[in-house]
Chain A
């Protein structure tokens, strides 16, 4: 079974600075997707960024980028020029692409609470 680990329960960053959130995962599969979701105080889950395992290029979305290390099974999220609105819980998630069974289910880490200081 796949597992996702976020080792930082809480992180803090100064506004306009850069912060990196860590995520590691365990899988025997070669084809999968990884996601970072943001959950602000409203508790609405919002997709931040996704990474396809078969692509070596790291995904980027504006101020958000990932460092995907497939061999190390590591998927960290970098937030540049942090803004007050970035304060939220961030969840790393894994999605298997194996057909049948639990294909498509998202497996989540326990989350990292990010605080942004003005």
Chain B
């Protein structure tokens, strides 16, 4: 079945550690996105990529980094520079060129700083 897979579902990070969240899709979508969800804040865009080997900062990119070496994969690294990383992270993908198609979401990763 086609879809988006995020792993792990739960992740714990110690102070000063970098952690990487995985996002893989087999929908043949060009575009991929990372969103952060906090209570009462909706979803805020961290990074997005419209094509392999290219990505752009979203609204809250500070303290995060990404790579897009393969069409299917768009991992997100939460660095030690991110001061408040505890949140729910959602990865999404969509076609980049066709009109009006919605974004498909993974099941999310809950990151907690311990």
Binding stretch for chain A, among B12-20, B73-81, B100-108: B100-108
Chain B facing A: main interface SS: strand
Query: Interface extent on B, as a size class?
Result: 20 to 34
Give CA–CA (A112, B105) in the complex, Å.
19
Report which of A9, A45, A105, A111 forms a contact with B45, defined as CB distance below 8 A.
A105
CB pair B92–A104 under 8 Å, yes or no, is no
Least CB distance from B79 to A in Å reads: 22
CB pair B31–A97 under 8 Å, yes or no, is no
A-B contact count, CB below 8 Å?
55
| A35 located at the interface, meaning its Cβ lies under 8 Å from any Cβ of chain B in the complex | yes
A interface size (C-beta, 8 A):
24
| A64 located at the interface, meaning its Cβ lies under 8 Å from any Cβ of chain B in the complex | no
From A42, which residue of chain B is reached at the shortest CB distance?
B107
Report which of B50, B100, B105 forms a contact with A52, defined as CB distance below 8 A.
B100
| A102 located at the interface, meaning its Cβ lies under 8 Å from any Cβ of chain B in the complex | yes
29 contacts between A and B (CB under 8 A): A6-B42, A33-B99, A42-B107, A43-B107, A44-B105, A44-B107, A45-B90, A45-B92, A47-B102, A52-B99, A91-B42, A95-B103, A97-B100, A102-B48, A102-B56, A103-B50, A104-B94, A104-B96, A106-B33, A106-B43, A106-B45, A106-B92, A106-B103, A108-B35, A108-B42, A108-B43, A109-B42, A110-B41, A110-B42
